[in-house]
C-alpha cells in the first residue's frame, strides 16, 4: 500500500523499531506455545516451578504485545497529525483558482472524512501487522513440529486467505464508490445548511431537494455501504469457520492418517487457536485499511501545491508610485467567460471607483489586481518592474481586501502579524460606530455573530489594522444603511486617503461617484475609464436627486 510506503519514508527508524517489537511479540507468543507443548503436554511436568515460569512468560508476552501495538498506534497518530497539517498548509499555498475549482465541499470531506478514515486505519493497523507476523512465525513453528501436516494445513489456510481476499476486494470497490458519494452528500449538506432560510420559506423546494437530491445520494450510499458490510462480514465468517475446520483437519491427519501423535496434534490445534484471533482481526482490519487507501488516494487527486513547511515573509514593496495592468487576459477553465485584455494604471494615493453591471467581470478584475488570479497573458508591473512567480507574494502584501463574501477573523493584527495598536483600533471602532457592538480581549474579537452590515464594518477594521498600502473594497457599502453609507463615502474614504491608502472600490452607488478621483467601468469583460461627459452621465440621476433634495 502506498500509504504504508509513505509512513516508512517519513518515519523509517520508528517504523523499523515498531516492526522489531512486533517480531519480538510474535516470537514470545510462539515461545509460549512451545513452552506449553514441552512442559505441559509432552513432558507432563508436575513441578510447581512451572507455574511461575508460565505466568512470567505470559506477563512478558502481554507487555511486549501491548508495547508494540501502542508504538504503532502512536506512530500512526503522529503520521495523521503530520498529514493533516501538511494538507492544511498545501491548501493555504494553493492558488485560489484551484481551490475554487475543487470546491469547499470536497475539501471539507477531505479534512474530515478522509483524515478520519486514515486515523481509524492506523488504530487497526497493529492488528494486521500482528496477524501477518504471527502467521509467518506460527508456520515456521508448525513446520518444525510436522512438515507433512504443515503442507496440508498451509493449503487449507491459503484457500482461507484467498477466499477472504476475494471477498475483501469487493469491499474495496464499494468503499471507492462510497468516497465519491460522500462528496455529493457534503454538497447536499452544504445546500441544506446555507439555503436554510429560502428552504424554510419554500417547502416545495425543500421537498424537491430532500426527495430528489439528498435521498438519491443517501440511497446510493446505503446501497454501497450495505454491500461493503455484507462482503466484510462474509470474509470474517469465512475465515472463522475455515480456521475451525483446520483444527478438525489436524486431528484427522494425526489420528486417522497417523501422521503425528496426539501431543503434536494438540500443539498444532493450540497454535491454530492462538493464531485464529489475530488472523481474524487482520481480516477485519483490511476494510479500514482499504478505506484509508481510498481516502489517501482521494487527497492526492486534489492536485494541491507541493508541501512547503515554512511561511515565507516577503519583503514589502515601499514607496511605490504606479501599479500597471498591461493587456491582462483571464478566462475560466471552461472558457465560458473571458476578461480582457485589460490595461490600466493605478497611482499611489488614488481613490478609484469601479462600476459595471452584474457579470461584467468586476470581481474577476479585483482578483487579478490583487494577484489572487493568474492571467493567461499580459503583465502586472509595479513601478515598471514585472510581477512574476518570484515576487508575487511581495506584490500581494501591498493589499488588504474586503470581498463581497466576507470572512471574519477574530484577531486584529498589523502588517507584521503582531497585535494591532489598541489606540488605532479604538479610534476606528468609533468611526465605524461599532464601539458598543464589538467586544475585545486584547486583539481578539469575542463576538463575530453580527449582521451583514456590521460584519462588513468589522472586516474594514481588520483590513485597515493590517496597515497595507492598497485597500480593495468589493461593494462594501451594499449592506450599509443609507446613513452609514453616506458616512462611508464622505468621511471614511477621505480619512483612509489621509492615512496614505490607495483605494480601489467596486461600487453601485452612483449618488457618490463624484467623490472618486477616477471612475472605471467594466462592460462584458472589458475595462474603460469614464471621463468628461461620460462620467457626468453616469452620475446624472444622482445629481438630479441632489437638486431635488436641495
DSSP 460-511: HHHHHHT--SEEEEESGGGGS-HHHHHHIIIIIHHHHHHTT-EEEEE---GG
In a structure prediction context, what are the per-residue pLDDT tens digits for the chain, which is 550 residues long?
A: 666 676 667 677 777 777 777 778 777 777 777 777 666 666 555 566 777 877 888 888 788 878 877 777 777 777 777 877 888 888 888 887 788 777 777 777 777 777 777 777 766 676 677 777 777 777 777 777 778 887 888 888 788 878 877 787 777 778 777 767 877 787 788 778 777 766 776 777 778 878 888 888 888 888 888 888 888 788 878 877 887 788 788 888 877 777 777 777 777 777 777 777 777 677 667 767 777 777 777 777 778 888 787 777 777 777 888 888 888 888 766 556 677 788 888 888 888 888 887 777 888 888 888 888 888 888 888 888 888 877 888 888 888 888 887 777 777 878 777 888 888 888 888 888 887 788 887 778 787 777 888 888 888 888 888 888 888 888 888 878 888 888 888 888 888 888 888 889 888 877 777 788 888 888 877 888 877 777 777 665 544 444 433 3
**DSSP for 452-471, written as a single string:** HHHHHHHHHHHHHHT--SEE
Give the N- to C-terminal CA distance of the chain in Å, as an integer.
78
E strand or H helix at 338: strand 338-347
Determine phi and psi for 526, rounding to 5 degrees: -115, 145
Residue 8 CA to its chain's centroid (Å)? 22
CA distance 545 to 550: 9
Q: Give the residues across from 522 on adjacent strands.
A: 356, 527
CA distance 353 to 506: 6
Q: Which pLDDT does position 434 carry in this prediction? A: 81
* pTM summary value: 0.67
Judged by DSSP in three states, 347 sits in strand
Q: Which pLDDT does position 548 carry in this prediction? A: 38
Residue 272's nearest CA partner among 252, 246, 249 is 246
Q: Which pLDDT does position 510 carry in this prediction? A: 75
Amino acid at each position: 500500500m502506498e500509504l504504508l510506503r509513505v509512513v516508512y519514508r517519513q518515519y523509517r527508524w520508528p517504523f523499523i523499531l515498531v516492526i522489531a517489537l512486533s517480531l519480538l511479540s510474535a516470537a514470545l507468543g510462539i515461545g509460549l506455545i512451545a513452552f506449553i507443548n514441552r512442559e505441559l503436554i509432552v513432558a507432563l511436568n508436575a513441578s510447581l516451578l512451572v507455574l511461575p515460569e508460565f505466568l512470567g512468560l505470559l506477563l512478558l508476552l502481554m507487555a511486549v504485545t501491548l508495547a508494540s501495538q501502542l508504538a504503532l498506534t502512536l506512530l500512526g497518530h503522529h503520521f495523521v497529525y503530520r498529514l493533516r497539517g501538511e494538507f492544511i498548509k498545501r491548501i493555504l499555498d494553493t492558488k485560489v483558482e484551484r481551490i475554487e475549482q475543487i470546491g469547499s465541499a470536497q475539501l471539507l470531506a477531505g479534512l474530515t472524512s478522509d483524515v478520519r478514515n486514515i486515523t481509524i486505519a492506523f488504530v487497526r493497523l497493529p492488528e494486521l501487522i500482528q496477524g501477518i507476523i504471527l502467521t509467518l512465525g506460527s508456520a515456521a513453528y508448525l513446520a518444525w513440529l510436522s512438515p507433512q501436516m504443515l503442507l496440508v494445513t498451509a493449503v487449507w489456510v491459503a484457500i482461507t486467505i484467498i477466499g477472504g481476499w476475494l471477498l475483501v476486494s469487493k469491499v474495496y470497490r464499494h468503499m471507492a464508490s462510497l468516497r465519491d458519494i460522500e462528496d455529493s452528500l457534503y454538497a447536499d449538506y452544504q445546500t441544506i445548511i446555507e439555503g436554510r432560510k429560502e428552504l424554510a420559506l419554500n417547502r416545495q423546494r425543500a421537498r424537491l431537494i430532500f426527495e430528489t437530491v439528498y435521498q438519491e445520494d443517501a440511497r446510493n450510499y446505503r446501497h454501497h455501504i450495505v454491500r461493503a458490510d455484507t462482503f466484510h462480514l462474509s470474509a470474517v465468517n469465512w475465515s472463522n469457520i475455515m480456521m475451525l475446520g483446520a483444527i478438525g483437519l489436524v486431528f484427522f491427519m494425526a489420528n486417522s492418517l497417523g501422521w503425528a501423535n496426539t501431543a503434536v496434534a494438540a500443539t498444532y490445534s493450540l497454535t491454530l487457536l492462538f493464531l485464529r484471533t489475530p488472523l481474524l482481526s487482520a481480516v477485519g482490519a483490511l476494510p479500514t485499511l482499504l478505506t484509508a487507501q481510498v481516502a489517501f488516494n482521494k487527497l492526492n487527486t486534489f492536485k494541491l501545491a507541493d508541501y512547503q513547511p515554512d511561511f515565507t515573509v516577503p519583503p514589502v514593496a515601499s514607496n511605490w508610485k504606479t501599479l500597471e495592468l498591461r493587456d491582462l487576459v483571464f478566462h475560466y477553465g471552461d472558457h465560458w467567460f473571458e476578461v480582457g485584455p485589460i490595461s490600466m494604471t493605478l497611482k499611489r494615493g488614488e481613490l478609484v471607483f469601479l462600476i459595471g453591471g452584474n457579470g461584467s467581470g468586476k470581481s474577476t478584475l479585483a482578483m487579478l489586481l490583487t494577484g489572487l488570479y493568474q492571467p493567461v497573458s499580459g503583465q502586472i508591473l509595479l513601478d515598471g518592474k514585472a510581477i512574476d512567480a518570484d515576487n508575487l507574494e511581495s506584490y500581494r502584501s501591498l493589499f488588504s481586501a474586503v470581498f463581497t463574501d466576507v470572512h471574519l477573523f477574530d484577531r486584529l493584527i498589523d502588517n507584521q502579524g503582531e497585535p494591532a495598536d489598541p489606540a488605532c483600533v479604538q479610534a476606528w471602532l468609533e468611526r465605524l460606530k461599532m464601539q458598543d457592538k464589538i467586544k475585545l480581549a486584547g486583539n481578539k474579537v469575542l463576538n463575530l455573530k453580527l449582521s451583514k452590515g456590521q460584519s462588513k464594518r468589522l472586516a474594514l477594521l481588520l483590513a485597515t489594522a493590517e496597515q497595507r498600502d492598497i485597500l480593495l473594497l468589493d461593494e462594501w457599502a451594499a449592506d450599509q444603511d443609507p446613513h452609514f453609507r453616506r458616512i462611508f463615502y464622505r468621511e471614511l474614504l477621505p480619512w483612509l486617503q489621509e492615512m496614505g491608502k490607495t483605494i480601489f472600490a467596486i461600487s453601485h452607488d452612483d449618488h457618490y461617484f463624484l467623490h472618486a478621483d477616477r471612475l472605471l467601468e467594466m462592460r462584458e469583460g472589458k475595462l474603460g475609464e469614464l471621463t468628461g461627459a461620460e462620467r457626468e452621465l453616469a452620475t446624472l440621476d444622482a445629481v438630479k436627486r441632489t437638486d431635488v433634495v436641495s
